[in-house]
Structure 1
């Protein structure tokens, strides 16, 4: 089987600003995600709202830059 996608140690954080103060905090959206996808395989990313599914997709598509790891 041919490997068509490899994700290694992918992590992404975002700065969350408080609505009522100038305080900022870091939110870990994705932390140390790794997987490989091979020809003729199907990958499903499932989870609750806010669990990082869309962030993983944007990282794979290179729409956003990871803090660490590689695609």
Structure 2
């Protein structure tokens, strides 16, 4: 049996000439979530993303053995 968790992070686009601004600003927050769950014994099992309007939704799926 496994414990499963889903974490959704939301990032908003902004007007800038830097086409990679979401990647640059989201990397730190995503790494913090990965570290947080790793200390609890979870591992990242999958990820996905979707966009809606000016927002990017990143879904992180974690699992650990009971």
Normalising by structure 2, we get a TM-score of 0.28
Structure ranking higher in helix proportion: 2
Q: Return the structure number with greater relative CO, CA threshold 8 A, min gap 6.
A: 2
Larger Rg: 1
